[in-house]
């Protein structure tokens, strides 16, 4: 689905030098590159504070810990997402309240949020799925009216812009109370190992987030709150600092791939190409089609036979996962989530795809379907 080897070859000289420098300095933990990368990301993302951490799942967990959510507090989340979003809610003994998505954008439906709010609701976690922003303007309006926190799961959409109705724009991850992102190697800004970051414009909250990520420590060996140990290591920070300079280029490459696919599948009666909402710049972490009247398993087998990878993100929605059995959430009626779960398929999209590959993939798919 991605080609990280070829991507590395193009930046090898820079990356190798940066990694060697860290090794030679032996500053493996909290070396200067960590702060340098955090500062560069803050600037890029238009936020005051970036707190690097070990991975995107930790970012979400630390966010919820720092906001002081209490056991039993309700957190509204889409079910149509990667499991990490919802898992950390339950891990902290909070209650995940699964709501439906807009079947066009794959993202959390503001109307469904509105209906799910109770006196125990404390936070909303919109996920900018596949690289396109959720409807943040409506979500922020709902949250402000009810005094709720908004934690953006920006793991798939780093670099995306959100366009407000008044003509201004902001980067995803800089709009809610807190933004959380992941540098898992296949993400749009991928490290060469695990990594994550938390973003916020609230200085007091940033202090708390840093504390939670560092054993609840206020000064050395003084621990004020229960925290965890979650760091971005220096080698990863050094690599990410270089790759951040290429992020916009990487996004352009992904968008070109999406354009090619869009044109190839345009107006095919059995294929719906990804909807592009007016309020978001889609950064195409995934290129995901909705298939109608096509046996997805057989198509995948056929594609695999031609060495074309494809994936189902995600084959089981969160509310139907066994881990949430005790919440009884599998009974929740989420028709758009079920509809999409049965019909989506994601095709390869990455920074190194060429026209020959794209032509091969699209013609094989059309050959099969027509
Ligand atoms: C990747 C991802 C995460 C988790 O990130 P890790 O770094 O793998 O822990 C969380 N949410 C979403 C939507 C993701 O895609």
Q: Where are the alpha helices (DSSP H) in 135-246?
A: 136-146, 203-213, 234-244
**Same domain assignment for residues 184 and 260:** no
Query: 3-state SS of 95-108?
Result: EEEEECECCCCCCE
**Same domain assignment for residues 72 and 47:** yes
**Same domain assignment for residues 311 and 199:** no
**Same domain assignment for residues 118 and 206:** yes
CA of 166 to the centre of ligand 1 (A): 31
Ramachandran area for residue 215 (φ above 0: left; ψ -120 to 50: alpha; else beta)? left
Return mean pLDDT, the chain. Answer: 97
Residue 195, CA atoms < 13 Å, CB-side half-sphere: 26
Above pLDDT 70, what percent of the chain? Answer: 100
Count of CB atoms within 10 A of residue 216's CB?
16
Of ligand 1's atoms, which has the minimum distance to the CA of residue 184? 7
146-199, pLDDT tens digit by residue?
999 999 999 999 999 999 999 999 999 999 999 999 999 999 999 999 999 999
Final residue belonging to a domain, choices 201, 222, 244 = 244
**Same domain assignment for residues 298 and 230:** no
**Same domain assignment for residues 234 and 251:** no
Of ligand 1's atoms, which has the minimum distance to the CA of residue 182? 7
Segment 53-82 shows an average pLDDT of: 97
Among 156, 181, 194, name the best residue to mutate to test ligand 1's pocket (greatest count of ligand atoms within 8 A of Cβ). 156
Helix (H, G, I), strand (E, B) or coil at 353: coil
Helix (H, G, I), strand (E, B) or coil at 327: helix
Final residue belonging to a domain, choices 211, 244, 277 = 244
Nearest C-alpha to atom 2 of ligand 1 is from which residue? 155
Assess whether the C-beta atom of 82 lies below 6 angstroms from ligand 1.
yes
Look at residue 244 and tell me whether its pLDDT is greater than 90.
yes
Give Cα 164 distance to the centre of its chain.
20
Position 359 scores a pLDDT of 98
**Axis crossing angle, helix 355-369 with helix 247-265, rounded to the nearest 10:** 30
User: What is the signed CA dihedral for 248, 252, 257, 262, rounded to 10 degrees?
Assistant: 120
Position 370 scores a pLDDT of 84
Position 267 scores a pLDDT of 84
**Same domain assignment for residues 234 and 355:** no
Assess whether the C-beta atom of 238 lies below 6 angstroms from ligand 1.
no
Position 2 scores a pLDDT of 87
263-322, pLDDT tens digit by residue?
999 989 999 999 999 999 999 999 999 999 999 999 999 999 999 999 999 999 999 999
Look at residue 32 and tell me whether its pLDDT is greater than 90.
yes
Position 347 scores a pLDDT of 98
Position 131 scores a pLDDT of 98
CA of 289 to the centre of ligand 1 (A): 21
How many helices (H) and strands (E) are present in the chain, helices listed first?
A: 12, 14
d(CA 113, CA 76) in angstroms, rounded, equals 7
Helix (H, G, I), strand (E, B) or coil at 74: strand
In 3D space, the residue among 191, 193, 141, 134 whose CA is nearest the CA of residue 162 turns out to be: 134
Long-range contacts of 317-322, Cβ-Cβ distance < 8 Å, separation of 24 or more = 317/79, 317/80, 317/98, 317/341, 318/77, 318/78, 318/79, 318/80, 318/81, 318/83, 318/85, 318/86, 318/96, 318/98, 319/79, 319/98, 320/79, 321/83
Position 1 scores a pLDDT of 86
Segment 1-8 shows an average pLDDT of: 93
Segment 30-39 shows an average pLDDT of: 98
Instruction: List CB contacts of 186: < 8 A, sequence separation 6 or more.
Output: 1, 2, 4
Assess whether the C-beta atom of 230 lies below 6 angstroms from ligand 1.
no
Domain containing 285 equals 247-369
**Same domain assignment for residues 260 and 227:** no
Q: Which helix (H) or strand (E) holds 289?
A: strand 287-291
203-237, pLDDT tens digit by residue?
999 999 999 999 999 999 999 999 999 999 999 99
**Same domain assignment for residues 168 and 307:** no
115-125, pLDDT tens digit by residue?
999 999 999 99
Check: CB of residue 273 under 8 Å from CB of residue 320.
no
CATH code (residue 307): 3.90.1150.10
């Amino acid at each position: 689905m991605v080609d990280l080897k070829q991507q590395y070859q193009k930046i090898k000289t820079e990356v190798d030098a940066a990694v060697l420098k860290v090794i030679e300095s032996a500053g493996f933990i909290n070396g200067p590159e960590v702060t340098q990368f955090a500062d560069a990301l803050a600037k890029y993302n238009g936020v005051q504070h970036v707190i690097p951490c070990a991975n995107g799942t930790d970012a979400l967990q630390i966010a919820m810990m720092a906001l002081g959510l209490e056991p039993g507090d309700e957190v509204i989340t889409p079910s149509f997402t990667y499991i990490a979003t919802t898992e950390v809610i339950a891990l902290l003994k909070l209650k995940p309240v699964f709501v439906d998505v807009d079947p066009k954008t794959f993202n959390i439906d503001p109307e469904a949020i509105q209906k799910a709010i109770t006196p125990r609701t404390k936070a909303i976690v919109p996920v900018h799925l596949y690289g396109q922003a959720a409807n943040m303007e409506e979500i922020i309006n709902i949250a402000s009216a009810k005094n709720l926190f908004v934690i953006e799961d920006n793991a798939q959409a780093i670099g995306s812009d959100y366009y407000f109705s008044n003509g201004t724009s902001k980067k995803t991850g800089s709009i809610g109370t807190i933004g959380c992102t992941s540098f898992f190697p296949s993400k749009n800004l991928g490290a060469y190992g695990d990594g994550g970051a938390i973003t916020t414009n609230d200085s007091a909250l940033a202090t708390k987030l840093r504390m939670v990520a560092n054993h609840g420590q206020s000064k050395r060996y003084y621990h004020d709150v229960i925290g965890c140990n979650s760091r971005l290591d220096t080698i990863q920070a050094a690599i990410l600092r270089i790759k951040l300079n290429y992020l916009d280029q990487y996004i352009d490459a992904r968008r070109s791939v999406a354009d090619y696919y869009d044109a190839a599948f345009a107006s095919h009666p059995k294929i719906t190409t990804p909807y592009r909402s007016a309020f978001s710049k889609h950064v195409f972490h995934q290129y995901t089609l909705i298939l109608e009247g096509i046996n997805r398993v057989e198509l995948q087998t056929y594609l695999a036979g031609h060495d074309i990878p494809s994936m189902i993100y995600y084959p089981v929605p969160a509310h139907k996962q066994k881990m949430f059995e005790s919440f009884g959430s599998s009974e929740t009626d989420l028709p758009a989530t079920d509809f999409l779960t049965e019909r989506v398929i994601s095709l390869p999209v990455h920074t190194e795809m060429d026209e020959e590959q794209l032509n091969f993939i699209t013609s094989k798919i059309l050959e099969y379907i027509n």
